[in-house]
Amino acid sequence: MNKPIIITTGDLDSVFFEIFFKSIKKEKVYNPIILICSFKMFKSEAKRYNFNKQYELFDLKKIISVKLENKKINIINIDIGKFNIKKINSKIKNTYLKKSFDIAFQLIKKGISNKFINGPINKKSFLNKKFPGITEYISHAFKIKNVGMLIYNKKLSVCPVTTHLPIKMVAKKINKELIKKKINLVIEFFTKILKKEPNIAVTGLNPHCESILNFNEDIQILSPIIRNFSRKGVKIKGPFSADTLFTKNNRTKFNIIIGMYHDQVLTPLKTLYEFDAVNITMGLPFLRVSPDHGPNILMINKNKSNPTSLIQAIKFLDKK
């Protein structure tokens, strides 16, 4: 039996339990699951969505010392006391999230698992400007500086060089060292984890890779880097204009597109594949995956949420 998959629920007010129950009902999971959650909410939501799979409660000490089964959900409870989900304040939610991550990180550091999924999170509320995203929050906890975001689909994946930055800050952040690090992360992840050769396209920073300014990042930063990697035998081309790179004839030539900023590559990928993609953090000493969508508060309790991204996240780790 492979190591268990650790799953945290993300925000208390989210569609997590709905998509989790739908995922477990739809797909057989071969590895044990450790679900870190409010047991009170688990029972309440399980009743709502007619989820009848067996479960067992553990504390942190016990779960480390026993052989876990994949026939039941192995739960570590986070006690949040009496609550009304409609009246939960940000302090309670953030405390719950921090406890969830802390327990997951302890299990990973003790070698219990190297597979981690976190549910959807409202980053603005939880991170409070200290970190630009959950990717950076997790990498900080493990003292890893060089990480990268990969939005993965088996047909085509994307990696933004900069992640959750305002547009006005992107050009200031782009430099040769950062771009080289992201390309190397992609190469290492594809060859070691995905067991496939990356075939990389790189977008330009500027519209049509042109600039009215004297300094053109696409010519003076990106082009030399791409040439150097190509000379070393890496399948890499660019810089390409982002407005046409994702058209059908162009995107089928590559399996990974590296873009300069978040929405430049995430928007077209989500348009193409919708929920059929997962968010992976490259560069960590374990596999961290999350559904590629947010808490979706407006859809809570409507039983209409699409579980595809969580299903893909679980399937990805279940094979590792």
pLDDT tens readout for residues 2-11: 899 999 999 9
Query: H helices of the chain, where?
Result: 16-26, 39-48, 60-65, 90-109, 123-127, 134-141, 167-173, 176-192, 217, 223-231, 242-245, 248-251, 262-273, 308-318
* CATH number listed for the domain at residues 1-144+284-320: 3.40.718.10
For the segment 53-70, the average pLDDT, to the nearest whole number, is 90
pLDDT tens readout for residues 191-239: 999 999 999 999 999 999 988 878 899 999 999 999 999 999 999 999 9
The yes-or-no answer to whether 1-144+284-320 and 146-283 have a common fold is yes
Instruction: Note the pLDDT of residue 90.
Output: 79
Does residue 120 have a cis bond before it (omega within 30 degrees)?
no
Neighbour order of strands in the sheet with 5-8? 55-58, 73-77, 33-37, 5-8, 115-118, 287-291, 278-282, 148-152, 157-160, 256-259, 199-203, 235-240
* 15, 55 contact by CB (below 8 A): no
Q: Can you tell me the distance from the alpha carbon of 153 to that of 164, in angstroms, rounded to the nearest whole number?
A: 21
What tokens does 286 get? 């374990």
pLDDT at residue 1 greater than cutoff 60: no
Superfamily classification of domain 146-283: Isopropylmalate Dehydrogenase (3.40.718.10)
| pLDDT, the chain, mean | 92
Lowest mean pLDDT among 123-132, 164-173, 267-276: 123-132
Q: Provide, rounded to the nearest whole percent, the portion of the chain with pLDDT above 70.
A: 98
pLDDT at residue 270 greater than cutoff 60: yes
Instruction: Note the pLDDT of residue 164.
Output: 86
Instruction: Note the pLDDT of residue 85.
Output: 62
Host H or E run for residue 36: strand 33-37
Dihedral (CA of 46, 47, 53, 58) sign: positive
For the segment 121-127, the average pLDDT, to the nearest whole number, is 82
For the segment 124-147, the average pLDDT, to the nearest whole number, is 87
Q: Can you tell me the distance from the alpha carbon of 290 to that of 151, in angstroms, rounded to the nearest whole number?
A: 10
Instruction: Note the pLDDT of residue 83.
Output: 62
Q: Can you tell me the distance from the alpha carbon of 320 to that of 318, in angstroms, rounded to the nearest whole number?
A: 6
Instruction: Note the pLDDT of residue 214.
Output: 85
pLDDT at residue 61 greater than cutoff 70: yes
Instruction: Note the pLDDT of residue 312.
Output: 96
- What's the N-to-C CA distance of the chain in angstroms? 11
Q: Can you tell me the distance from the alpha carbon of 299 to that of 183, in angstroms, rounded to the nearest whole number?
A: 37
Q: For the chain, which residues make up each domain, given as ranges?
A: 1-144+284-320, 146-283
For the segment 244-249, the average pLDDT, to the nearest whole number, is 95
Q: Can you tell me the distance from the alpha carbon of 218 to that of 222, in angstroms, rounded to the nearest whole number?
A: 5
Instruction: Note the pLDDT of residue 123.
Output: 81
pTM of the model: 0.92
